[in-house]
Structure 1
Amino acid sequence: MKHVKDFTIKFISNLVLLYVILGLFYGMEFGNVFLISLVLGIVSYLIGDRLILPKTNNTMATLADFGLALLVIWSMSESFTRGDNIFTVSLLAALAVTLFEYFFHKYVSNNATKEDSQEKINPSTSLRFQTEASEELSPQRKDLTNDIEKDDLY
């Protein structure tokens, strides 16, 4: 349920930001802005918020989200429009989304569930190997030990 809430916040804020920049300033249709926001929300939530943010810090996740936002917004906007150079508008939209992502990452980090915080403290994939040592340096078989003691008696 937490993921649905986080994704909904991300999607609605991306939709508002992109509609203001792409829809009102550039004149892109609402349906196209909605589709861009949906794809961007899914990709950036899975890659930026669920994969990169738990393993790194807010700065790295925000930079990754900037690259993802620019790539998704620019490539989808190019396919929806004809003949216009939309790179500058896409760059502006990606910067606005990145600014939101910086604060969203802080929200996600502060409101992490108990399971997520436990996973950060003691991750099962951290590859912390342990070695077990014993007092015996070389194993001795009991049947050989008994034969040696018998030979000593004769």
Structure 2
Amino acid sequence: MRLPRIAGSSLAGSLFVLALVACGDKQGAGAMADSARRDSGSPTVPARQLGAMPMLPPFRAHLDSVAAKPAMIKSSMSGHMAEVHKVMEAMHADMMAAGMHSDAAYEALADSVVKASAALGRAKDKDLSRLVAMQVDQLRRLTAVYEQKAAAM
């Protein structure tokens, strides 16, 4: 059976177009709802990636090695300093990107790490073990505070 033509087109064609329009509205509404969910901060928005987090396990391994053999740092001082700087910059960037302002205690600890790095670079052999232990302790505390702050983000 053939459907009658309505104004130059078939009824089936008209129904098809009508169905497309109806489906298109639903998809558009769904897309608008998805957009609204993204804008409202619902779970459809992917969590912000923290740049420092993946750096921490290898950094801790580095600190463990340095703590176990402080003398090894003499031959790799520039690499150690670069790694400390890179991790500290990443932690700072994460906190700033999340809108978190560091507190006075965090800033004091970060400043002490920077000062310890400078002292370590000038250290005599007799002071090396003590300064390495001090800096490793400071860095472990600083990364622990960062992790606590990151968990609260």
Fold shared per TM-score above 0.5: no
Give the structure-1-normalised TM-score: 0.28
Give the structure-2-normalised TM-score: 0.28
Q: Quick check: which has more Rg, 1 or 2?
A: 2
